[in-house]
Structure 1
Amino acid sequence: MRNLYSFGFCLFALLGATSQVQAQSSDEPSYRKEFTYGINFNTRGGLIGGVAVRSTRVLDEKWSRFWGVEGVEVKHPKEQRRLNPNSGGSFVYGKSNYLFVLRPSYGMQRVIFRKAPESGVQVNALLGAGPSIGLLMPYYIYYDYTVRERPGVAIQEDIRSEQYDPMINSSEARILDRAPLFSGASQTQVKVGAHLRGALSFEYGRYRDAVAGIETGFLFELYPKELMILRAQNIDDKTLNNKFFPSVYLTLYIGHRS
């Protein structure tokens, strides 16, 4: 966490220092609009955090403004996937909800180093903010309620699909597998918060009408109340879960200009 805040401080310092940095070229850019889309990786997500799209409008040779939308899954740092050796199924023990977040953002971008028209790398610094729309969707599991120790009574399997509850589904051995992703979609709860991001983008465009690059930075996200992702016996839900979600992210993007 200390490294995360240090990164944020350094980035803000760099943003302030850009006013003293001379661009490699003062030529007016040959495009007015830019549209990009990409894949997001972050310290709060899984293998792939989510996807992002952004529209940027050039104001002058140094400044641009942008709006965008990012969709990601946010995981609890204590999530651990388990395997049931009898059923072969896998699940996250204690997980009660998925958390998917939509992040509309608006912000400003400044050119630090401008690349040559047909080659090179351009470095931009950006700062953006906006609402965070959290979607808490129940995490369903297949739980085995079968009673197996009743002499003289034929065993009839009783397997149910339901949202994890630590007071009911306490036996890890009886959790057979996770249910399909959208099993609890009709019970999704909407939670609204806000986020702030700061980043550097390293942009490569061999042609005037095409662009590709990497954006890396930090994101701070805050909700009014704790979002319940994990649950456990004898632990209060508010103690186990968070309402503040800092992260470091990296986005690989491509797009076009006009």
Structure 2
Amino acid sequence: MRNLYTFGFSLLALLGASSQAQAQSSDEPSYRKEFTYGVNFNTRGGLIGGVAVRSTRVLDEKWSRFWGIEGVEVKHPKEQRHLNPNTGGSYVYGKSNYMFVVRPSFGVQRVIFRKAPESGVQVNALLGGGPSIALLMPYYIYYDYTILENGGGRPVQEDIRSEQYNPSVNSSEARIVDRAPIFSGASQTQAKFGAHIRGALSFEYGRYRDAVAGIETGFMFELYPKNITILRAQNISDGTLNTNFYPSVYLTLYIGHRS
């Protein structure tokens, strides 16, 4: 992930240098609306953080306003994937909940460098924010409670159960077989409400008037009234192990169209 962000920022620096070489234009843009969708990478997610869509309306040659929505998975920084050598199954020991976040966003965007009509890179600065809806879905694991004959040997009765991790009930890692399917606990999903704010730069390339592609990179601060429980551990309180504040750096690759 570190190499990804190093590459991304290096690329943005090159694009920024290229954009400064383009002649700035004060003409009215030839489009009034822009709709984009993309893939999000962030320091709180996995390999791919999530997806995002955005609709932008041009106000004048410099300013636009936008609304958008993104869905991402937020992971605890101490999550570590373990492998069961006997079954080949993998799981995150201590994980009690998945945290999926839906973020409606509203904000404004300003053109810093406008690209030439048929080439170059346009640089925009944007500021936005909105509510955050965290969906906590139980993380289920298959545990082996099989009773063996005389404490060993052949099983008397096979007993494999799918359970949410609870350090006071099923803390024995030796019983873990594998991770259960991701939506095993979907019916027990709980919603937690918070808010977020973001600031970013976007580097936009569009060779044709009605098409656009680019990179957006920036920071985000997200806050909830109470701590969100993702990981649990024995002899450590949930409040100590988890937090209600989620700062992150993100990178979004997007494409879209204008009209």
Same fold at TM > 0.5: yes
Partner of 1:255: 256
Post-superposition offset of 1:24? 1.0
Instruction: Letter of the 1:60 partner, please give it.
Output: D
Instruction: Letter of the 1:222 partner, please give it.
Output: L
Partner of 1:201: 202
RMSD (CA atoms): 1.3
Partner of 2:78: 78
206 and 160 in structure 1: CA distance in 2 versus 1, 3 angstrom threshold:
same
Instruction: Letter of the 1:57 partner, please give it.
Output: R
Post-superposition offset of 1:151? 6.0
What SS class does the counterpart of residue 155 from structure 1 fall into?
strand
Aligned pairs (5 A) from 1:10-89: 24-89=24-89
Q: Deviations over 1:52-99 (max 9, x none)?
A: 000000000000000000000000000000001111100000000000
Whole-angstrom distance in 2 between the partners of 1:196 and 1:103:
10
What SS class does the counterpart of residue 79 from structure 2 fall into?
coil
Post-superposition offset of 1:147? 2.5
Post-superposition offset of 1:155? 2.0
Whole-angstrom distance in 2 between the partners of 1:136 and 1:148:
36
Post-superposition offset of 1:148? 2.5
Instruction: Letter of the 1:180 partner, please give it.
Output: P
Give the TM-score normalised by the residue count of structure 2: 0.89
Partner of 2:14: none
Post-superposition offset of 1:171? 1.3
Aligned pairs (5 A) from 1:106-145: 106-145=106-145
Identity of matched residues, %: 85
What SS class does the counterpart of residue 231 from structure 2 fall into?
coil
Aligned pairs (5 A) from 1:104-253: 104-148=104-148, 150=150, 155-253=156-254
Instruction: Letter of the 1:108 partner, please give it.
Output: V
Q: Deviations over 1:233-254 (max 9, x none)?
A: 0000010001000000000000
Post-superposition offset of 1:193? 0.1
What SS class does the counterpart of residue 150 from structure 1 fall into?
helix
Moved more, 150-159 or 24-33: 150-159
Partner of 1:15: none
What SS class does the counterpart of residue 24 from structure 2 fall into?
coil
Counterpart contact for 1:169–1:175, Cα < 8 Å? no
32 and 148 in structure 1: CA distance in 2 versus 1, 3 angstrom threshold:
same
For structure 2, the residue ranges without an aligned partner over 5 or more in a row are 1-22
Q: Deviations over 1:24-67 (max 9, x none)?
A: 11011000000000000000000000000000000000000000
Partner of 2:18: none
154 and 34 in structure 1: CA distance in 2 versus 1, 3 angstrom threshold:
closer
Whole-angstrom distance in 2 between the partners of 1:39 and 1:102:
14
Counterpart contact for 2:42–2:248, Cα < 8 Å? yes
Q: Deviations over 1:214-246 (max 9, x none)?
A: 000000000000000000000000100010000
Whole-angstrom distance in 2 between the partners of 1:138 and 1:105:
26
User: How many residue pairs are counted as aligned between the two chains?
Assistant: 236
Instruction: Letter of the 2:191 partner, please give it.
Output: V
What SS class does the counterpart of residue 240 from structure 2 fall into?
helix
| 4+ aligned runs moved over 6 Å, structure 1 | none
